[in-house]
Amino acid sequence: MAAPIYVVLLGKQGAGKGTQSELLCARHGLVHLSTGDILRAAVRAGSDLGHEVSRVLEAGELVSDDLVNRLVEERLAAPDAAAGAVFDGYPRTRGQAEALDAILAPEAIGVCVLVELPDGLVVERLSARRVCEGCGTTYTATDPSAVSGVCERCGGRVVQRADDTPEAIGARLAAYDRDTRPLIDFYDARRLLATVDGDRPVAEVQASIEAALAARGLA
């Protein structure tokens, strides 16, 4: 059996990490591991960890690194994660990256892909983003479902997220620069960082990511 493939995807909001994660998972049989998804899944499952997450969220508090790390460890132990995972939105800090090394093994991460996108384009993309409140499907402002306000997949309401205004996006970009730079340096120092240009068609970005995997013997 081939060794599991573990890929960390970094990039600003709107860089297309979610889309590229799904493409990677489909091609290589990996699980898409995003912090938001595992938090929601744990709550829905009603596990001990899920109840702990619910209590934190209901109190209006932030989920601690320790709790997130435990959720990640639990998710990676599931049978469908045997082939590996694409980490999207996790790790967010150097501390989480070190915890992930402890969960897997220091040499387990095969590559960290940084999808670069200029700030101006981030603002443009996110300002035009619309999201279904029911299923989370993402649309652009000109898509029929966004114009009608009704999701074509589930019939849910399609809205603009409160944090997709230019002012809120600017604050998130500042937080990204502050929090993610140490993480980029962490993986770069270990020669695991591969940078790709995100300002291209999806297929071209996908090809660059696949080339980064192939260069490390992962594809």
Q: What is the pLDDT of residues 3-35, one digit of tens each?
A: 899 999 999 988 999 899 999 999 999 999 998
Marked catalytic residue, from 12, 17, 125, 130: 17
Single-letter code of the amino acid located at 5: I
**94 catalytic, yes or no?**
no
Marked catalytic residue, from 40, 172, 190, 216: 172
Q: What is the pTM of this model?
A: 0.84
What is the model's pLDDT at position 28?
95
98 vs 213: CA distance, rounded Å: 22
Q: Which stretch of DSSP H or E encloses residue 160?
A: none
Marked catalytic residue, from 161, 181, 191, 200: 161
**190 catalytic, yes or no?**
no
**161 catalytic, yes or no?**
yes
**12 catalytic, yes or no?**
no
pLDDT at 179 over 90: no
Q: Is 100 exposed, middle or buried (0-12, 13-18, 19+ CB in 10 A)?
A: buried
What is the model's pLDDT at position 44?
87
Q: Note if the bond before 182 is cis, omega within 30 degrees.
A: no
What is the model's pLDDT at position 1?
63
Contact 86, 61 (CB under 8 A): no
Domains and CATH numbers, the chain: 5-215 (3.40.50.300)
pLDDT category of residue 53 using cuts at 50, 70 and 90: confident
Q: Is 34 exposed, middle or buried (0-12, 13-18, 19+ CB in 10 A)?
A: middle
pLDDT at 219 over 90: no
pLDDT category of residue 104 using cuts at 50, 70 and 90: very high
**17 catalytic, yes or no?**
yes
Marked catalytic residue, from 40, 92, 94, 216: 92
Marked catalytic residue, from 12, 75, 125, 129: 129
What is the model's pLDDT at position 58?
84
